[in-house]
Amino acid sequence: MVIQALGESTFMKPFAATLVQYMEKNLKATSPLACFKLLRWSCYILRWSQFATLSKGGFSRLANAQAILCQVLMDGSFRRCRTCKQLFTCLFSESIGAYNMYIKEVRDLNISIRDSPAFLNIKLDFTTTSSSLFAEYKSMFNVPDLLLKGKLYLPYYRIGIINALEQLSRLPPKQISRLAPSLSSFLLTCYKDDGYIFVGSFNSVVKTGFTKATQRLDAIYALFSVSRLAAIDTKADAAVLKEKLWILIAQNEPSLISVQLVIPYFLCPLNF
């Protein structure tokens, strides 16, 4: 009865206004069941009424309240996390328009990602399931080539990176650990074919560092990056093999890699 009545604006408007007000008053609620019920009814309103298009300000308030309540569920058990994700996945699947509106709220900083990183996590997960959405919204996230392709001389790039790092630095460790896997997966999907491009600059750092003791620490960090890239990108692995980094390291730092271990890799790379 209530869901059917949501199609009538005379009922929907006061009902939605009351729900949004109640959600905002209970943002510090710790009861997962109460959070779930509020989130479910808020999704019902977006699915079965024209609330989002009729009241842009009301939608912004509702989305921000949803993000905070969502964090309560996502900090709980696996079952609660799955239930919360299903609510929004179902909503986004039925209405890409609603998904686009949420992304706009994130882009315009109307949703506090610092207080509710799990909400961004859900958006990232859904974005990677659609090639069209992935292509459309890939550019809105800070990307590693801004750092590795010399574009930080532009002021707005520097400001974007600094703001992103500032927001991440304020997150509790538990929230960062929940957000990092999805964000890393998203970026890996974006750039998994471009790893070999970055290996060139890393190779030179490794070579210099392992031949000069004063730059050894930089070389170790660069080597870690090269190894990770080579493990997921065959072109990057080929670039490392061509530069003979492992032999250079073995010759200058045998305690790290022995020559006996490296030689078979070059003699028989496919069977190593």
Q: How far separated are the first and last CA of the chain, in Å rounded?
A: 66
Per-residue pLDDT 10s for the chain (272 aa) are 777 788 888 888 899 999 999 999 888 766 888 899 999 999 999 998 889 888 889 999 999 999 999 988 888 888 998 999 999 999 999 989 999 999 889 888 888 777 787 888 888 888 878 888 877 877 665 654 444 464 444 554 555 555 555 656 666 666 666 666 666 666 556 555 555 666 777 788 888 887 777 787 888 888 887 887 777 777 778 887 788 877 777 777 777 766 666 555 555 544 43
Whole-prediction pTM: 0.56
Distance CA(26)–CA(5), nearest Å, equals 25
Nearest to 179 by CA among 80, 83, 36, 75: 75
Query: Is there a contact between 66 and 119 (Cβ–Cβ < 8 Å)?
Result: yes
Whats the size of the chain, residue-wise?
A: 272
Enter the tokens of residue 142.
Answer: 């800070």
Site of tokens 């032999």? 247
The pLDDT tens digits for 229-242 are 777 777 778 887 78
**What per-residue confidence (pLDDT) applies to 146?**
46
CA atoms within 13 A of residue 242's CA, in its CB half-sphere? 11
**What per-residue confidence (pLDDT) applies to 7?**
82
**What per-residue confidence (pLDDT) applies to 99?**
92
Query: Is there a contact between 88 and 122 (Cβ–Cβ < 8 Å)?
Result: yes
